[in-house]
């Protein structure tokens, strides 16, 4: 049985991947991050090693000695960790000192090079999960009207702009006006903030647009969406969710579509061609 390495971040995503890998007949060797990764990952993995965030050499050695040739990074790592609380090992410190660009994408790419130097290829986050990638078109709900589509088109451009600057991937709009843009707080908190800012002010419902970075590396930090986000949208007065097709993963497709039906939220898989950009 072929092995695959799983570098597990936080949330349910690592568990979803591990379950799918097991179904596909792959043996999962997991790298857990202390106080971040779900403990349940051990139930799916044939072998699990636990390391602190900032340790690069340990996980590489663990996967190499376990016979892993391919691995992927799945799950969230809070961006606030870059401001403190992370003690890099010697290999990570050397890596960081060489980097001019300290944005997340550059750090992840440099980490991938370190893994490759030891014979471990980091592969796409969507590996074995291609069926969960958002497809183009209307995924759920009623087709939005022309005003909502105009707002979504403006939101697409705004979201791509902040994504290019590595600020966030999500914007929340009303009537072609950005109410909130995602920072380190994450998608759901961005939506809640927009809801608070517009609460009691009347007007049309909110539109949420979530995209990938213009130069998205499929190995790292793919945009994801799940049922929880739809429920947050409902509570915040949002009725339309636009997700980038082919680059956004749905965590739990059946639950997601059921939540879309329950909340009445329209979900659209989009790309540049939808908005004629």
What is the per-residue pLDDT for 200? 84
Q: How many CB atoms lie within 10 A of CB 164?
A: 12
186 backbone φψ class: left, alpha, beta (φ>0; ψ -120 to 50): left
What is the per-residue pLDDT for 81? 53
Segment 16-37 mean pLDDT: 96
Residue 112 and residue 138 in one domain: no
Residue 83 has pLDDT above 70, yes or no: no
Buried b (16+ CB within 10 A) or exposed e, 124-160: ebbbbbeebbbeeeebbbeebeeebbebbbbbbebbb
187-198 pLDDT, tens digit each: 999 999 999 999
Q: Which residues contact 228 (CB under 8 A, 6 or more apart)?
A: 188
Average pLDDT of the chain? 93
What is the per-residue pLDDT for 106? 85
Residue numbers of the domain that contains 197: 131-275
Residue 57 and residue 108 in one domain: yes
For strands 170-174 and 206-210, give the pairing: antiparallel
Q: Which residue has the tokens 């779900």?
A: 38
What is the per-residue pLDDT for 203? 79
Q: How far is CA 10 from the centre of its chain?
A: 11
Burial of 218 (0-12, 13-18, 19+ CB in 10 A): middle
Residue 160 and residue 256 in one domain: yes
Segment 5-24 mean pLDDT: 95
CA distance 109 to 210: 23
pLDDT > 70: what percent of the chain?
97
Residue 114 and residue 140 in one domain: no
CATH of the domain at 10: 3.40.50.20
Residue 238 has pLDDT above 90, yes or no: yes
Among the candidates 103, 122, 141, a domain finishes at: 122
Residue 95 and residue 151 in one domain: no
What is the per-residue pLDDT for 276? 63
Helix (H, G, I), strand (E, B) or coil at 39: helix
Please indicate whether residue 139 or residue 100 has the higher confidence score (pLDDT). 139
The reported pTM is 0.91
Q: How confident is the model at residue 82 (pLDDT cuts 50, 70, 90)?
A: low
Q: Express the helix, strand and coil content of the chain in percent, nearest 5 each.
A: 40, 25, 35
Two tokens, residue 56 = 């690069």
Residue 139 and residue 66 in one domain: no
Segment 37-48 mean pLDDT: 97
CA distance 144 to 83: 41
Bridge partners (DSSP) listed for residue 180: 172
Segment 5-30 mean pLDDT: 95
Query: With the C-alpha atoms ordered 115, 117, 120, 123, is the resulting torsion angle positive or negative?
Result: positive
What is the per-residue pLDDT for 102? 77
Q: How many CB atoms lie within 10 A of CB 274?
A: 17
Q: How many domains does the chain have?
A: 2
Residue 272 has pLDDT above 90, yes or no: no
Q: How confident is the model at residue 95 (pLDDT cuts 50, 70, 90)?
A: confident
Radius of gyration of the chain (CA): 19
Residue 134 has pLDDT above 60, yes or no: yes
Residue 257 and residue 162 in one domain: yes
Residue 80 has pLDDT above 70, yes or no: no
Residue 79 has pLDDT above 80, yes or no: no
User: By mean pLDDT, which of 62-71, 74-83, 229-238 is the weakest?
Assistant: 74-83
Residue 118 and residue 136 in one domain: no
CA distance 2 to 40: 22
Please indicate whether residue 203 or residue 157 has the higher confidence score (pLDDT). 157
CATH of the domain at 238: 3.40.140.80
What is the per-residue pLDDT for 66? 97
């Amino acid at each position: 049985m072929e092995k695959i390495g799983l570098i597990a971040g936080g949330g349910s995503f690592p568990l979803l991947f591990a379950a799918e890998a097991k179904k596909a007949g792959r043996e999962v060797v997991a790298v857990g991050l202390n106080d971040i990764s779900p403990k349940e990952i051990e139930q799916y993995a044939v072998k699990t090693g636990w390391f602190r965030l900032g340790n690069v050499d340990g996980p590489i050695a663990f996967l190499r000695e376990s016979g892993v040739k391919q691995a992927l990074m799945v799950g969230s790592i809070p961006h606030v960790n870059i401001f403190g609380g992370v003690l890099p090992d010697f290999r990570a410190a050397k890596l960081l000192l060489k980097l001019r660009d300290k944005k997340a994408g550059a750090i992840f790419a440099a980490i991938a090079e370190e893994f490759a130097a030891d014979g471990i290829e980091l592969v796409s986050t969507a590996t074995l999960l291609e069926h969960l990638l958002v497809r183009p078109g209307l995924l759920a709900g009623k087709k939005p009207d022309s005003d909502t589509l105009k707002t979504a088109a403006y939101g697409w451009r705004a979201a791509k702009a902040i994504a290019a600057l590595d600020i966030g991937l999500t914007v929340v709009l009303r009537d072609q006006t950005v109410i909130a843009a995602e920072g380190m707080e994450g998608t759901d908190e961005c939506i809640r903030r927009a809801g608070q800012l517009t609460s009691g002010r009347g007007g049309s419902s909110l539109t949420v647009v979530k995209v990938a970075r213009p130069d998205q590396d499929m190995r790292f930090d793919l945009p994801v969406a799940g049922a929880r986000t739809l429920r947050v949208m409902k509570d915040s007065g949002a009725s339309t969710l636009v997700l980038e097709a082919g680059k956004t993963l749905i965590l739990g497709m059946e639950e997601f579509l059921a939540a879309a039906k329950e909340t009445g939220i329209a979900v659209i898989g989009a790309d540049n061609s939808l908005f004629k950009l």
